[in-house]
Structure 1
Amino acid sequence: MPTLNKIRAALPVSRRDSATAPALTRLRIALTAFFALDGFIFAGWVVRIPDIKAQTGASHGALGLALLAVSAGAVATMMLTGRLCNRFGTRPVTVAAGVLLSLSVALPPLTHSALALGLVLLVFGAGYGGINVAMNSAAVELIAVLRRQVMPSFHAAFSLGGMVGAGIGALIAGSLSATWHLSLLTVAGLAITAAAAPTLLRGAPQLDSAATETEESAPAPRLTGRIRLLIILLGLVVLCSSYGEGSMADWSALHFKESLHAGPGLAAASYSVFALAMTIGRLCGTAVVERLGPTRTLAGGGAAAAAGMLVGSLAPNPWLAIAGFALTGLGLANIFPVTIARAGTLAGPSGIAMASTFGYGGMLLGPTVIGFLAEWTSLRVALTTIALLAAVSATVAYTTRNAVRT
């Protein structure tokens, strides 16, 4: 797949001026639908995990191993998806992954053991990892033609889809079985895919012409030693950000309950505030990146997240901690989308796949490390590692500023 800068170079001035054509707008909307679909389906699955645990009779440990299969399936599929995107194109692979994700979410309620659950979650993870690499790769291509840093808006759609999916799941959990709920998710996912796929596959003349001209004039990007090193550094930035996101999801409410002695409502609200701040940050992300540039957005976001998490973890009262969590969410909001766009600029789908794999590593690593550190020290101290890694992400983003231009 041609990288972002090569596509830009292939666009004549007249074609660049038409980058706001209706075809591109429709393509952007269709791609946004896939980001929202991804968040919607994943959140819908997450809220039914307790019901699936009860159905399978799995212990906490067995369930943990089964859930690990989601990440295992995603990580195992990501590099393969990058190669498929290079061969068949990012948009067809996005559609195929959307179908796989939609179909596989209906499988967990059909299992009756932890082993069977783990096996079907491998398939679900493959769909989840595949669509993340493919749709982010398609977004990088579109950004090149639009000449706007719109990646945060796509990830805002993912966050909004997740909020809607979790909200609907919470509302119907008491009245609808997991089998019916997840089956309806399959129907909704296939319907959204069917509605958005024709526009996505049709593409836009500006995008298709630019890609054709670039492929004819330049070879496909290769992962040279220097490019691979830069992708690893960008992957480290994504890992640090994902470490914070994953840890906040698992430990924020417990921190409020045990460390700050907050009531159940305030404890539950702690993560909601963080997630809402991330969504708001991503909705404003395009304007922020266009005003500050990618480097200052990443460095400033990492610094803000570090400061916010220090406040959130060490605050003496819940309300100050809530403010810290909100600042952390705003700081982390655009690190993942902007860094993924940079990886795509360097090496197309292969770069996105490598960086995304690091991101999943952070999601896995964070909650586990926090748990062990909390055992050895305290939960307050353990949560400060989120601030430490956010500062690391800011430092790495700044030191690589001259190596990557988006």
Structure 2
Amino acid sequence: MTTVPTRPRAARFATFMFFGLNGFAMGMWVVHIPNVERATGISHSTLGALLLVLGGAAFAGMQLAGPLVDRFGHRRLVPAAGVLLGLAVCGPGFADSWWTLGLALVFFGFGNGAIDVGMNSHAVVVERAYPRPIMAAFHAMWSIGGAIAAVIGAATLGAGVATGVTLTGTGLVCVVLSVLSARFLMEPADAPSAGAADTAEAAPAGRRRTPGRTVWLLGLLALALMLSEGVANDWAALHMEKVLGTSASTAALAYGAFAVAMTTGRFLTDRVAAWSGPAAIVRYGAILAAIGLTTAAAAPWVPLSLVGWALFGLGLSGGVPQLFTAAGNLDTRASGALMARVVGLGYVGLLAGPALIGGLTRWMPLNVTFAVPVVLCVLAAVFAGILSPKPEPAEQPVG
């Protein structure tokens, strides 16, 4: 067994912290959305529009943070993004009108986008210092942070704690832990290429390939898989209730089965990827996801549908981390900028998926609309070969 040096282990723990904090901040915001809506007196449609503003600000934060992390480094950008996120999450708790909430969500979305790219870019650096894949576990920690937020948020809501107080406490935790974790972060120069190829610098000049086409294909794959994830987030429970006629409490089990399976799968993915490779994780995971969602949509019985949603979550669990790792390793000199494109396109898919399904329900039953993410999963399986390393051309004999 290869011994990992102390510094990469400390950096790995710090990266776990940032992923957990990001999931925790987002989770605390989500559980308090109904309270914020009542406090500001806005309608559901206005809230929907403001959530799009949050998404647009997050996308902008991703695109700005990418080049900045390449220029100023992870030890500056990632903690700064964590502090910004901590300060910004307080804002919605004190909003009293649509425009004050909109302004708060601009800052919150921007901070969320910045830390998303920063922590994923840093995760790739840490993974290079390890003899095995570790990216998927970071994404599992994001889910754990959200689950912790759901528990704490439910407790504070039940105790009648004011939304502003709870979100301010959330922000304080983010700020303090971001500052304390900063000293443990690594830069690309600190990480030897132990498990990832540095294609832009290590390959001979005649064999270098530009990352342009590759990064856009990785981004489209991320869009397809994260769009599918977004469909489960917003429509799994509603499908169970409206199509299978269950109660609201039973319907909630659909998303629960999906979320638990996805989190569990992310903790297992790294070990599987170590011997199967990233292309196999994306290919066979996407196929499993397509089978799972088809089962969930077509099943006439609740237990079988729940199995389908669980398979869907398990299949999607490992794909996106592999895509992010591949993007970050295309060129270490522009890792952040390349990561921003892939993460940004994936985020567009996450936002667009629920809206696309909602629009299609005007013309077809909800379970039939799930054919869209099924097809996207199949396409992701077809194009997963982009993650397979290309063999070096054989040297031609002289003379």
TM-score scaled by length of structure 2: 0.90
Match in the other structure for 1:376: 363
- 1:48 equivalent to 2:32? Answer yes
Unaligned ranges ≥5, structure 1: 1-16
Residue type matched to 2:221 in 1? V
Deviations 1:256-304 (A, max 9, x none): 1110011222111110110110000001111011121101011011000
Match in the other structure for 1:396: 383
1:191 to partner: Cα distance: 2.4
Residue type matched to 1:365 in 2? A
Contact preservation (8 Å) 1:91, 1:135: no
Query: For residues 102 and 209 of structure 1, what CA distance do their matches in structure 2 show?
Result: 28
Match in the other structure for 2:336: 349
Residue type matched to 2:178 in 1? T
Match in the other structure for 2:317: 333
Q: CA RMSD in A?
A: 2.3
Q: Match of 2:371, SS?
A: helix
Comparing 184-193 with 250-259, greater Cα deviation is found at 184-193
1:194 to partner: Cα distance: 2.9
Query: For residues 18 and 88 of structure 1, what CA distance do their matches in structure 2 show?
Result: 32
* Number of aligned residues: 379
Name segments (4+ residues, structure 1) moved above 3 Å. 402-405
- 1:236 equivalent to 2:223? Answer no
Match in the other structure for 1:67: 51
Which of 145, 148, 151 matches 1:161? 145
1:115 to partner: Cα distance: 2.1
1:164 to partner: Cα distance: 0.9
1:20 to partner: Cα distance: 0.5
1:220-299 matches, cutoff 5 A: 226-299=210-283
Query: For residues 234 and 403 of structure 1, what CA distance do their matches in structure 2 show?
Result: 15
Q: Match of 2:129, SS?
A: helix
Comparing 390-399 with 95-104, greater Cα deviation is found at 390-399
Residue type matched to 1:192 in 2? L
Contact preservation (8 Å) 2:75, 2:183: no
1:34 to partner: Cα distance: 0.5
Q: Match of 1:173, SS?
A: helix
Contact preservation (8 Å) 2:126, 2:191: no
Query: For residues 389 and 292 of structure 1, what CA distance do their matches in structure 2 show?
Result: 23
Contact preservation (8 Å) 1:91, 1:138: no
Identity across aligned pairs (percent)? Answer: 35
- 1:140 equivalent to 2:124? Answer yes
1:30 to partner: Cα distance: 1.0
1:118 to partner: Cα distance: 1.4
The 3 A distance-change label for structure 1 pair 35 and 209 is closer
Query: For residues 126 and 189 of structure 2, what CA distance do their matches in structure 1 show?
Result: 7
Deviations 1:131-170 (A, max 9, x none): 1111111111111121321000111111111111122112
1:4-83 matches, cutoff 5 A: 20-83=4-67
Contact preservation (8 Å) 2:61, 2:112: no
Query: For residues 400 and 333 of structure 1, what CA distance do their matches in structure 2 show?
Result: 17
Contact preservation (8 Å) 2:23, 2:143: yes
Which of 175, 188, 191 matches 1:190? 175
Query: For residues 400 and 376 of structure 1, what CA distance do their matches in structure 2 show?
Result: 37
Residue type matched to 2:383 in 1? V
Query: For residues 331 and 371 of structure 1, what CA distance do their matches in structure 2 show?
Result: 23
- 1:315 equivalent to 2:299? Answer yes
Comparing 90-99 with 395-404, greater Cα deviation is found at 395-404
Query: For residues 334 and 131 of structure 1, what CA distance do their matches in structure 2 show?
Result: 21
Query: For residues 290 and 344 of structure 2, what CA distance do their matches in structure 1 show?
Result: 23
Q: Match of 1:284, SS?
A: helix
Unaligned ranges ≥5, structure 2: 203-207, 393-399
- 1:181 equivalent to 2:166? Answer yes
